[in-house]
Amino acid sequence: MTDSGNHGHSGNLYAALRANFPSDLSAVAVETDHGLSYSWSDLDRASAMIANLLQALGLEPGARIAVQVEKSVEAMMLYLATLRAGYVFLPLNTAYRGAEVEYFIRNAEPAVMVCSSANAAWVAPIATGAGTRHVFTLDDDRTGTLLEVAAQCSDRHVVAAMRDDDLAAILYTSGTTGRSKGAMLTHRNLLSNAEVLKDYWGWRTPGDPEGPDVLIHALPIFHVHGLFVAIHGALISGSKMIWLDRFDPKRVVERLTEATVFMGVPTLYVRMLAEEGLTREACRQMRLFIAGSAPLLIETFDEWRERTGHTILERYGMSETAMLTSNPYSPVQGERRGGTVGFPLPGVQLRVRGDDGRDCLTDEIGNIEVSGPNVFVGYWRMPEKTAEEFTADGFFKTGDVGKVDGRGYVHIVGRSKDLIISGGYNVYPVEIEDAINQMPGVAESAVVGVPHPDFGEVGVAVVVAKAGATLDGDAIVSELKTRLANFKIPKRCFVVDALPRNTMGKVQKALLRETHKGLFAY
């Protein structure tokens, strides 16, 4: 028996999720693709044990719990435990390498670091060297020191009372200049978004005549999409998750007959379309396919409808804001229109402004700015950056460029930030250019995004050698692989005599994109 209802803990996101668990706690909450089942009671008790472990460490309020582990149900329990204990969850992409991880740890100063045992040999020294007091391991086969110690802890835990504005998570997002910034998200930010989406997307609960939804969870759990949108959506509606540790299009398609909801970045949809098994029959139980994190091509949208009879619902969000807009779920609200990201969600104010600060007219393209209870409270220990990214009247500048059409649908047409979105991951060219520019013999470089049939967009590097130096594009790529997360590595690297520049001396990236746009022609 756990004491974790929502008595007096309205500000704690976990308490709000827990309050929506089904009354039958022995029902299956998560079923893994390896055949393991976790009941709602298992989620509650195991997260209580890990929360007790964390609280026994005597951490200061607001302590950060940094986590770089392979996807597992236990990793999700660690997230829930961090929430219920009142600490701040700091998830890290498993692809990050030494220097990247070191930056995050030095910047965030977590009290606890949890890593895979395979990486402990290099992560632990980085963490302890940066002052982190506790390092645990957690593997995707239910082993590791975290679970060994948690096994000794009580499964009774009183959820920590939180104020709405207490931090729940810090999500690092790279910047167009300088280093990554930690977006600080509060319990209120995340809960308000989860509640809005539960309603807007019509999540079915255990009280529904057709029973609760069943979500196929196939995304990584270190970013907004898999960690918040998917997990919160299922937990706050008492819906079961079919849990895949990694995306496998064949397995997802095979399990569609048991599910009602699927979420993915566009690459996941592209890969599923290549599966013969993807038919109307396979999708007969499905209620909703949701896409986001990157632009969904109209070709994918149309092909999906033709093959499955389902119209993908595209929505738009960010690490700093969670979900901002969504195509309608219910036909009463309107049709789902491909190439648009739908309407601002209830509670979200979205406006489009010109560079001169003037409000754009219908269909006029400008900068997208947003406010609402879901918008983050600032960048971790970067008050100047935070101030730069908000307008005087409190709107967050998304860096996305778009318009609102006559029917109120938001369209994203580009980005003012120099950013490549590859397979749903953000890659900031400046970070790659900096790494290339540090290599011997390199005078300068430019990295641009070009269309790619699988990842939507991928980086291509164009490099100029110093006088007298000889460079090899493949060698540059190999060298980058030793320094940066794999998804950031440019897929091609060209050595050229000079970069194209305009009369002001600025590199003409648009021209480079044009030159290389056919490299991965579909």
User: Which 365-404 residues touch ligand AMP, going by CB under 6 A?
Assistant: 398-400
Nearest Cα to 365, choosing from 400, 315, 408, 317?
A: 400
Q: Which residue has the tokens 């003037």?
A: 358
Q: Which residues contact 319 (CB under 8 A, 6 or more apart)?
A: 171, 172, 173, 183, 223, 224, 376
55 near ligand MLC (CB under 6 A) = no
93 near ligand AMP (CB under 6 A) = no
Using CB under 6 A, pick the residue from 103, 487, 494, 520 that binds ligand MLC. Answer: 487
Task: Choose the stretch contacting ligand AMP; rule: CB under 6 A; options: 40-48, 131-139, 317-325, 506-514.
Answer: 317-325
422 near ligand MLC (CB under 6 A) = yes
Using CB under 6 A, pick the residue from 130, 312, 318, 489 that binds ligand AMP. Answer: 318
CB of 219 to ligand MLC, least distance (A): 4
How many residues bind to ligand AMP according to rule CB under 6 A?
19
CB of 482 to ligand MLC, least distance (A): 12
Using CB under 6 A, pick the residue from 49, 51, 421, 458 that binds ligand AMP. Answer: 421
CA neighbours closer than 13 Å in the CB half-sphere of residue 361: 0
Structure tokens at 117: 């045992």
CA separation for the pair 408, 402 (Å, rounded): 12
Q: For 509, phi and psi rounded to 5 degrees? A: -65, -30
Largest Cα span, the chain: 75
Q: Which residues contact 437 (CB under 8 A, 6 or more apart)?
A: 444, 445
Going from the C-alpha of 201 to that of each of 172, 211, 420, the distances in angstroms are 27, 15, 29
CB–CB of 17/10 below 8 Å? no
CA separation for the pair 520, 492 (Å, rounded): 10
Contact partner, 476, from ligand AMP, ligand MLC, none, Cβ < 5-8 Å per class:
none
CB–CB of 98/84 below 8 Å? no
Nearer to ligand MLC, 133 or 397 (CB): 397
CB of 295 to ligand AMP, least distance (A): 4
> What does the H/E/C string look like for 115-139?
ECCCCHHHHHHHHHHCCCCEEEECC
Using CB under 6 A, pick the residue from 29, 197, 224, 495 that binds ligand MLC. Answer: 224
295 near ligand MLC (CB under 6 A) = no
Contact partner, 226, from ligand AMP, ligand MLC, none, Cβ < 5-8 Å per class:
ligand MLC
Task: Choose the stretch contacting ligand AMP; rule: CB under 6 A; options: 147-155, 289-297, 327-335, 485-493.
Answer: 289-297
157 near ligand AMP (CB under 6 A) = no
Nearer to ligand MLC, 237 or 326 (CB): 326
The CB-nearest residue to ligand MLC is: 423
CA separation for the pair 11, 381 (Å, rounded): 23
203 near ligand AMP (CB under 6 A) = no
Using CB under 6 A, pick the residue from 220, 233, 317, 338 that binds ligand AMP. Answer: 317
Burial of 393 (0-12, 13-18, 19+ CB in 10 A): exposed
Using CB under 6 A, pick the residue from 233, 372, 424, 429 that binds ligand MLC. Answer: 424
Burial of 137 (0-12, 13-18, 19+ CB in 10 A): buried
Residues at the interface with ligand AMP (CB under 6 A): 173, 224, 292-295, 314, 316-319, 341, 398-400, 412, 415, 421, 426
Q: Which residue ranges make up the site for ligand MLC (CB under 6 A)?
A: 219-220, 223-226, 246-247, 265, 267, 292-293, 317-318, 422-425, 455, 458, 486-487, 489
